Amino acid sequence: MNVKYMFSFMAVILLFLLAYAGVEAAGLQVVFGIIIPYTALAVFIMGFICRIMCWASSPVPFRIPTTCGQQKSLPWIKQSKLDCPDTNGGVVLRMILEVVFFRSLFRNLKLRVKEGGKFYYGLEIFLWVGALAFHYAFFTVALRHLRFFTEPVPFFIKILEQLDGFFQFGLPIVYLSGIVLLAAALYLCLRRMLSPQVNYISLAADYFPLFLIIGIALTGILMRYFAKTDVVAVKELTMGLATFHPTIPQGIGGLFYVHLFFVSVLLMYFPFSKLMHMGGVFLSPTRNMPCNTRAERHVNPWNYPVEVHSYEEYEDHFRELMIEAGLPVEKKE
């Protein structure tokens, strides 16, 4: 049994019980339905901003992009504009590919030839696919949930819902994103537990958000497909939150509050954890700077003068030897 994931697992179970019992037994709907969500949102926004400000407050003293392709040099040598961009436009493209398609992660996989001429991809492809699936599913799910916070529901969310339910099976129609999110989160979680290499480097802090997100997805799916929840009441609550006239409608089950509580915890946890990679990826100096280090001077705000061994000192030290060897000197005596 691994302490690291057991700890995280127990923590999520505890959170579940806390919310469920808090609502069902103690009747703390106001706490879990209004106070905590507002607090969480405040913590998230403030925390996120503080974190970014904190990073931004440290200067970038040197321009050290990783050059992953041919530099711009002689006009007849083809520059790799995406992997070694020398312009801001190129950097933006590089960042888009990085943020939208996880390009560096994609580098992991290479088409390889096995004995006998068969092609195969290493296991690494699953990390890339899993990561993409996870992030995009999460994004879609989050966007879809805007339906609960807007009235009337904007057209693009309706379109998104239709696309998401494209395959039209099940009743209510099954949204792919939710299923993919759960599957991808489970995959990433199992990968962490079962691959010895990744298991070795993992911390409790790596399992906790995964369990939490699995919890969110599970409660969401349960509510939608199995323990049917009063959607009208839920929307009343969420619209109340969105319009700052919070109310607690009757008839919403404990499961919903668990779902809401999990989301709140995730929001609160976000700024203090590795989840901040969402913001950090944009601030990574090895990727977000142009590779024109020799063409443009980068200024270091704290560059300070240092003691150097000057030519004069050098010549004073070696003058006789230099003269003897016929090397030119500044002072002849």
Verify binding: residue 100, another protein, rule CB under 8 A.
Answer: no
Q: Which of 196, 226, 245, 331 binds another protein (CB under 8 A)?
A: 196
Q: Which of residues 285-324 bind another protein (CB under 8 A)?
A: 285-287, 291-300, 302-303, 306-311, 313-315, 317-318, 321-322, 324
Binding residues for another protein, total number by CB under 8 A? 99
Q: Which of residues 7-66 bind another protein (CB under 8 A)?
A: 7, 51, 54-64, 66
CA–CA gap between residue 63 and residue 68 (Å, rounded)? 15
When the beta carbons of 151 and 296 are compared against another protein, the nearer one is: 296
Verify binding: residue 107, another protein, rule CB under 8 A.
Answer: yes
Q: Which of residues 205-264 bind another protein (CB under 8 A)?
A: 205-206
Closest distance to another protein from the beta carbon of 260 (Å): 23
When the beta carbons of 34 and 43 are compared against another protein, the nearer one is: 43
Task: Name the amino acid, one letter, at 41.
Answer: L
Verify binding: residue 123, another protein, rule CB under 8 A.
Answer: yes
CA–CA gap between residue 119 and residue 240 (Å, rounded)? 56
* Cβ atoms of 157 and 144 closer than 8 Å: yes
CA–CA gap between residue 291 and residue 136 (Å, rounded)? 30
The H or E element spanning position 241 is helix 231-242
Verify binding: residue 332, another protein, rule CB under 8 A.
Answer: no
**Token reading at 181:** 């999110």
C-alpha distances in Å from residue 91, one per residue of 57, 70, 292, 293, 305: 22, 15, 11, 13, 32
Verify binding: residue 93, another protein, rule CB under 8 A.
Answer: no
CA–CA gap between residue 199 and residue 28 (Å, rounded)? 39
Closest distance to another protein from the beta carbon of 184 (Å): 13
Q: Which of 198, 233, 239, 248 binds another protein (CB under 8 A)?
A: 198
Task: Name the amino acid, one letter, at 320.
Answer: E
Closest distance to another protein from the beta carbon of 275 (Å): 8
When the beta carbons of 32 and 269 are compared against another protein, the nearer one is: 269
Q: Which of 151, 203, 227, 251 binds another protein (CB under 8 A)?
A: 203
Q: Which of 27, 116, 152, 328 binds another protein (CB under 8 A)?
A: 328
Closest distance to another protein from the beta carbon of 202 (Å): 6
Q: Which of 18, 80, 230, 246 binds another protein (CB under 8 A)?
A: 80
Q: Which of 245, 325, 331, 332 binds another protein (CB under 8 A)?
A: 325
Q: Which of residues 161-190 bind another protein (CB under 8 A)?
A: none
Verify binding: residue 105, another protein, rule CB under 8 A.
Answer: yes
**Token reading at 314:** 């050098």
**Token reading at 7:** 């700890």
C-alpha distances in Å from residue 78, one per residue of 7, 92, 294: 53, 20, 18
Cβ partners under 8 Å of residue 133, min gap 6: 180, 183, 184
CA–CA gap between residue 144 and residue 238 (Å, rounded)? 14
When the beta carbons of 151 and 313 are compared against another protein, the nearer one is: 313
**In b/e form, how buried is each residue of 110-121, taking b as 16+ CB within 10 angstroms?**
eeeeeeeeeeee
Verify binding: residue 5, another protein, rule CB under 8 A.
Answer: no
Partners of 112 in beta bridges: 120
Whose tokens are 């529901």? That residue is 153
